[in-house]
Amino acid sequence: MGQVQARRGPGVNIFDTSKPMWQIFLVFLVPLMVSNILQSASQTFSYVFVGQILLFSFLIGIASGSTVLIGQAFGAGNEHLVKKVAGTVLGATFGMGIIVAVVGPLISPWMLLALHTPSNILPQADSYAKVVFLISPIIFPYLAYTTFLRGTGDSQTPLYFLIISTLLTVLFTPMLIRGWFGLPQLGVASAAISGVLSQGIAFAALLVTLSVKKHPLKFDAETARDMLIDWKILWQVVKIGVPTGVQVIMVSLAEIAVISFVNRFGSPAAAAYGAVNQVVGYVQFPAISIGISASIFGAQCIGARREDLLGAVVRSAVGLNYAIGGVLIAVCYLCSWFILGWFITDAHTLGIAHALLMITLWSYLLFGNSAVLSGIMRSSGVVLVPTINGIFAIWAIEVPVAYLLMQHFGLNGVWMGYPAAYAVMLLLQYTYYTLFWKKRTHARLV
């Protein structure tokens, strides 16, 4: 078995035999979940001030390849490789951010028209979208850095600085919307502008803190040189990350298709869709966070040549998914009218949103189970088949089922596509995990 160097900072040590795996998992998971919740809370606060007319979001995907490589390098105790991977990915993400900042504003109006955005809010939506695209060179590296830290088992440090950025966003957004203290009233773009200000400040503070603590991931001259990109490392990141990136793109395109279905039922349906997405976002946090955690823990086990711990990682992750997710979903079912009332005041729209929530909420337990299996397989660099399974479930099940059932059940039929897709996705991932991936892992141990 490989020897692992002593851990630095607040990161968890998954090789600590004095505690059961689920406890170690939970220590890492809680800050990660809180981070996701705070990030969504900041967006929700912006929605409240902007109003319930704007249903536009920009999803930034960070390639999972960097997390896998950093997790494996950290598990092996190779800090030099950790820095090398981080520098290469930073350089690549900064370049990607510049490209998005240049191209995004040019295609923004076309994208919004393709989404059938109502003409009365098109100018505001376009302004918001342009700002989001323009801040990519700052947001991409910041998100990359938080991913690096989590790859080393540290979910607490990213949380601390997310708290800072969230508080600043809550402060800046109404200031810019209302024009307090003599500031200009920036309207719908205020949410995006306050986001770049708060995250820029938090990113700078994070870099200073890592430097003061002499953290292995501090930004220094060596990291700057590494940003010139090691093409061999980048190719490894690409091999692992491109399939995941393709899946993110395909899921985003599927959401565009679903939004186009929803928009056919008018503005109340669009508002209900937005409100349900807000609630579902919170329900997804445990599932997404647990899947990320499983991938990071798995990568560290593989880097340290402790594949014998992978089974404990999977069992802990799946158990926590059903325990935490099940409680959260039960609360949402019991308090659904009250929770949706935070986002919707119109009685008719509220009724539509409630019906949609009842149909789909339970299926996110299946989504979470699938995320765990996908994450653990990705931690070993196996990404193609899990990605194909995910894309198949989305495009061969969710979108067709939503379209067909829409003809018979109206808007409710659109929402039925989600449970169908998640059930098929779990079946496919479990089949491949059990019959192929698990056997190959066991063969390596023997």
Give the model confidence (pLDDT) of 361-370 as tens digits. 999 999 999 9
Identity of the amino acid at 351? G
What pLDDT shows up at residue 189? 62
- The pLDDT of residue 191: 66
Q: Are 350 and 341 in contact (CB under 8 A)?
A: yes
C-alpha 125/C-alpha 53 separation (Å) is 10
For 231, phi then psi, to 5°, come to -70, -25
Contact (CB, 8 A) for 74 and 152: yes
Which position has the higher pLDDT, 129 or 424?
A: 424
Question: How high is the pLDDT of residue 50?
Answer: 35
Rounded to whole angstroms, how far apart are CA atoms 207 and 224? 13
Round to whole Å and give the CA distance between 446 and 444: 5
- Which tens digits make up the pLDDT trace of 138-158? 777 887 888 888 888 888 888
* Choice between 257 and 362, residue whose per-residue pLDDT is larger: 362
Give the pLDDT score at 323: 94
Nearest to 367 by CA among 315, 419, 310, 435: 419
Q: Which pLDDT value is given to residue 61?
A: 39
Confidence of residue 420 (pLDDT cuts 50, 70, 90): very high
Query: 425 or 192, which is more confident?
Result: 425
Tokens representing 45?
């606060």
Structure tokens that stand for 60 in this block? 């930034």
Contacts 24+ apart (CB under 8 A), 217-221: 217/82, 217/83, 217/86, 217/145, 217/148, 217/149, 217/152
List, for residues 46-105, the tens digit of each pLDDT value: 433 333 334 333 334 355 678 888 888 888 888 888 888 888 888 888 888 888 888 888
pLDDT digits (tens, 9 = 90+) for 330-344: 999 999 888 888 887
Integer angstrom CA distances of residue 233 from 39, 82, 125, 229: 30, 11, 38, 8
Residue 389: pLDDT band (50, 70, 90) is very high
What six digits make up the tokens of 321?
Answer: 């998914």
Give CA separation, 166 vs 24, 40, 127, 279, in Å.
Answer: 27, 9, 22, 19
- Is the Cβ–Cβ distance between 343 and 275 less than 8 Å? yes
Cβ atoms 202, 64 nearer than 8 A: no
Does 321 have pLDDT greater than 90? yes
Question: Token digits for 120?
Answer: 């009365």
Read off the pLDDT band of 414 (50, 70, 90): confident
The DSSP secondary-structure symbol of 436 reads I
How many Å from the N-terminal Cα to the C-terminal Cα in the chain?
13
> Is it the case that residue 327 has pLDDT exceeding 80?
yes
Tally Cβ neighbours within 10 Å of residue 293: 28
Using CA atoms, how far apart are residues 239 and 316, in angstroms rounded to an integer?
28
As a whole number of angstroms, the distance between CA 246 and CA 191 comes to 28
Radius of gyration of the chain (CA): 22
∠ CA 146-382-238, nearest 5°, is 55
CB burial class (10 A; 0-12, 13-18, 19+) of residue 386?
Answer: buried
Average model confidence (pLDDT) across the chain: 79
- CB-based contact 202:145 (threshold 8 Å): no
- What H or E segment, with its residue span, contains residue 252? helix 231-263
Helix, coil or strand: residue 230: coil
Q: How far, in Å, CA of 141 to CA of 136, rounded?
A: 8
Q: Does the model's pTM come out above 0.85?
A: no
Among left, alpha and beta (phi > 0; psi -120 to 50; other), residue 182 is left
- Give the tens place of pLDDT for each residue, 38-59: 665 554 444 333 333 343 333 3
Torsion of CA 298, 303, 308, 311, to 10 degrees: 0
